[in-house]
Amino acid sequence: MRILPTPVRLLLLVLTLLLAAYPLFGATLAGEQHDFYLQKLTTIMIIAIVALSLDLLVGISGMVSLAQAAFFGIAGYTLVLVAPEYEAVSIWIALPVCLGVSALAALVMGLLIIRTSGIFFIMATIAFSQMLFYLFHDASFAGGSDGAYLFMKPEVSIAGVQLLDLEKRSTLFYVALASLVGVFLLLRTFLRAPFGQVLLGIKENESRVRAMGYNPSFYKLAAFVIAGTLAGYAGMLSATQYGFVSPSHVGWELSAHVLVMVILGGMGSLFGAILGAFAFEGLHAGFAALTPHWELLMGLVVIGMVLLLPRGIAGLLLQLSERKRDKSRTAAQVGAAQKEAGQ
C-alpha cells in the first residue's frame, strides 16, 4: 500500500484534531445540542471501525462480506453476558473475552466458507448473520427480541486505581477516537508488510499468488479473522456506549449499511472507509429529516457515486492530489527548461 499524499495526510490530521477538540469547545458551538452531537460522533467513530474492518475484506482482499455486524453484535452480547448484573466488569476481563469470542466466531465461519467466492461467499455470510439474528431473537439468555442491557460500563482500573471513567461521555468519545486512529494505523502497517502485499495480490490474481507458493486460503482466513475481531471490538465499544444490544445488531442490514459506507468512501484506501462512515451518517440525518423512506435517496446517491466516482470520496481526493502534483512537476520542468534555454 502506497504512502498517502501529503494533502491527504494533512486533511486526516486536521479532521483528527477537530474531533479531538470538540469535547473541549463543542458546548460553545453547539449549545444545548452538545451532548447529542458528542454521542453521535462517538457512534460514528465506532461504526467507522467496522467500516475499516470491512474495507480490509472488500477493498483489500476482494471478499464481499455481509457478516461484519454478526461479529459486532456477538461482542456486544458477550460483554453483557460476562458483566455482573448490577456491577461493573473489569475491562481486563471484558476486552479479551469479547475479542476472543469474536475471533473464534470469525475463525469458525471462515473455515466453513473461505474456499467459496463471489455470490456464494456473500450468501454464506448473509445466512450466518440471519442464523445469529434468530438465535439471539429467540434466546431468553440474550433477552429475546427486547435485547439485553448493560447496567454499568466496564471498569478501567489497575490495583484499585481508576484510569478511565467510561461513565463520562467525553471519556468514551476519546476512547473511540483513539481506537479509530489506532485501528487505522494498525491496518496501514499490516498492509505495508508482506502480509498485506499478498492479500492485494490475491485480490488481483489468486491463481498467480498460488503459483508463487503462497496459500491464498490461509491469508484470506487470517484477514477474515482480523476483520471479525476488529468488528467485535467496535461492538464492545457500542454496547459500552449505549448499555444495550439487540438482535438488530447482528443482522445483515447493519452490514449492508457499512458496505455502503465503504463504497461511498472508496474501497481499498482505508481512510475512505472513515470518510464514508461520516458521509453516510450525514446523508442519513439529512434524508431522514426529509422522508421516512430515506433508503431510496441513499440508494440514488450510491448509484450516482458508482457511476460518477467509482473510487469514492477517497479516489476523488487522491485524484485531485495527483493532479496538483503533476501540475507542480510540469511547472518545475518548464522552469528548468526555460532556465537552460536562457543559459
Tell me the per-residue pLDDT of 113-148, one tens digit each, with 9 for 90 and over. Answer: 998 888 999 999 999 999 999 999 988 888 888 889
What are the contacts of 13-19 at 24+ separation with CB within 8 A? 16/177, 16/181, 19/45, 19/177
Chain-centre distance for alpha carbon 117: 22
Phi first, then psi: what are they for 325, rounded to 5°? -65, -40
Percentage with pLDDT > 90 across the chain: 55
Percentage with pLDDT > 70 across the chain: 94
The residues that bridge with 156 in the sheet, in sequence order, are 164
Tell me the per-residue pLDDT of 13-68, one tens digit each, with 9 for 90 and over. Answer: 999 999 999 998 877 777 778 888 999 999 999 999 999 999 999 999 889 999 99
Are the C-beta atoms of 91 and 49 separated by less than 8 Å?
no
pLDDT of residue 1: 61
Pairing of strands 161-164, 244-245: unpaired
Are the C-beta atoms of 75 and 83 separated by less than 8 Å?
no
Indicate left, alpha or beta for 151 from its phi (over 0: left) and psi (-120 to 50: alpha). Answer: alpha
pLDDT of residue 336: 61
pLDDT of residue 170: 92
Kindly report the pTM of this predicted structure. 0.91
Alpha carbon distance 3, 23 (integer Å): 31
pLDDT of residue 335: 62
Whether residue 331 is predicted with pLDDT greater than 70 in this model: the reply is no
pLDDT of residue 333: 62
Phi first, then psi: what are they for 87, rounded to 5°? -135, 155
pLDDT of residue 328: 62
